[in-house]
C-alpha cells in the first residue's frame, strides 16, 4: 500500500500543471458530525471556493493535478472522506449521507459562503447529498464521470450479487474492477498504481460505501437542489443527457472523447480546461 501510494503520488505530481502557488496548502482536521476526524487541505484564494470530493476508495491526493492550477484563482479545498486517506475510521455505517456530512463539516469549519462542489464518481452522489445541507451556499455541482443516468436504480438482488464479489476477495476484485475502468492505451504505470492503491483500502469501508452508492436514490436531493448541475464525463459509458435534464432544474454535460473513468488523471490539462470553462459558466450565470 505504501509503495503504491508513493508511485501514485509521483505520477499525479508529474501530471499536475506547473506553477504552483507560492504559499503551500494548509492542512487541518475537523470532526465530522459523528466525531470521526476529517483531514482536509486548503490552498489559494477567491470565491466561489472549489470543494473537490474524491471517489470510492481514493483520497484527496487524486486531485493533485487540479489543486495548484485552480488555486491561482479560487480557494481550493480537498478532503479525505471518513475511512479514506488520512481521515479516521470508527464509523458504524459507510454511507453517502455520512460522507456528505464530512463535506459539510469542512465547509462549515472554513466558513465558506459560496462553493462549487466537484465530485468524481461516488463523490458526485456525496456532493448531491451535501448540497441539501449547504442550502444556498452551493453555486453549482460538477460531476466527474458519474450521473450517467440519474433515474437508474438497482434491484436488491443486483446489488447483493455485485457486492458479493467484493466480499469474497476485496483486493483482487477491486484491482480487476479498477483496471477495467481505464481505456486501452492508458498509461500502464498509472493504471497499476491506481488499481493497487484502491485495492489496498479497508474492505469494510469499500464494501459498505459501494453498497450505499448502489442503493442511493438521487431523486430527493435533485428535487431540492436549485443550483446548476454539470457533468464532465468520458465517452466510455453513455450519458443520458436528455433524461437527466428532465430530473434536474438545470443540467448539462460535456462528453470527453478517448478517456476512461479517471479522466482528470489521464489527461489533467484537458480536464482542467473543461472544468475551468464549466466553473466560468456557472459563476457568470450566477452574476
Structure confidence by residue, pLDDT tens digits, 224-270: 999 999 999 999 999 999 999 999 999 999 999 999 999 999 999 99
H/E stretch holding 171 reads: helix 170-179
Cβ 102 vs Cβ 32: under 8 Å: yes
> Please, what are the domains in the chain?
20-152+218-286 (3.40.50.1820)
Give the distance between the most distant pair of CA atoms in the chain. 52
Provide Rg for the chain, Cα atoms: 17
User: Residue 69 pLDDT > 80, yes or no?
Assistant: yes
pLDDT tier for residue 86 given thresholds of 50, 70 and 90: very high
> 222-234: per-residue pLDDT in tens?
999 999 999 999 9
- Residue in 71, 79, 75 with CA at minimum distance from that of residue 54: 79
What's the pTM value of the predicted model, to 2 decimals? 0.92
Strand partners of residue 230? 142, 252
Cβ 144 vs Cβ 264: under 8 Å: yes
Strands 138-144, 76-79: parallel, antiparallel or unpaired by DSSP? unpaired
Q: Where are the alpha helices (DSSP H) in 56-95?
A: 64-70
Instruction: Check residue 235 and report its DSSP letter.
Output: T
Amino acid at each position: 500500500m505504501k509503495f503504491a501510494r508513493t508511485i501514485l503520488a509521483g505520477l499525479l505530481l508529474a501530471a499536475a500543471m506547473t506553477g504552483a502557488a507560492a504559499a503551500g496548502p494548509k492542512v487541518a482536521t475537523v470532526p465530522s458530525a459523528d466525531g470521526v476526524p476529517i483531514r482536509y487541505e486548503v490552498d489559494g484564494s477567491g470565491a466561489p471556493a472549489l470543494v473537490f470530493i474524491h471517489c470510492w476508495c481514493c483520497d484527496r491526493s487524486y486531485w493533485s493535478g487540479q489543486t495548484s492550477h485552480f488555486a491561482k484563482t479560487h480557494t481550493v479545498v480537498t478532503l479525505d472522506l471518513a475511512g479514506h486517506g488520512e481521515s479516521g475510521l470508527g464509523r458504524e455505517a459507510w454511507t453517502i449521507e455520512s460522507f456528505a456530512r464530512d463535506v459539510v463539516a469542512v465547509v462549515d469549519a472554513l466558513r465558506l459562503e459560496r462553493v462549487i462542489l466537484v465530485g468524481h464518481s461516488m463523490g458526485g452522489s456525496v456532493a448531491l447529498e451535501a448540497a441539501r445541507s449547504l442550502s444556498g451556499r452551493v453555486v453549482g455541482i460538477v460531476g466527474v464521470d458519474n450521473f450517467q443516468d440519474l433515474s437508474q436504480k438497482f434491484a436488491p438482488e443486483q446489488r447483493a450479487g455485485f457486492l458479493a464479489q467484493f466480499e469474497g476477495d476485496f483486493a483482487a476484485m477491486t484491482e480487476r474492477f479498477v483496471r477495467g475502468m481505464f481505456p486501452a492505451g492508458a498509461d500502464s504505470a498509472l493504471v497499476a498504481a491506481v488499481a493497487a492503491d484502491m485495492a489496498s483500502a479497508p474492505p469494510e469501508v469499500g464494501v459498505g460505501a459501494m453498497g450505499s452508492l448502489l442503493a442511493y436514490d438521487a431523486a430527493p436531493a435533485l428535487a431540492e437542489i436549485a443550483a446548476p448541475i454539470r457533468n464532465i464525463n468520458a465517452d466510455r459509458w453513455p450519458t443520458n443527457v436528455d433524461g437527466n435534464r428532465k430530473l434536474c432544474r438545470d443540467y448539462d454535460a460535456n462528453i470527453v472523447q478517448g478517456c476512461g473513468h479517471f479522466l482528470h488523471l489521464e489527461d489533467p490539462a484537458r480536464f482542467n480546461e473543461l472544468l475551468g470553462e464549466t466553473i466560468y459558466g456557472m459563476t457568470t450565470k450566477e452574476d
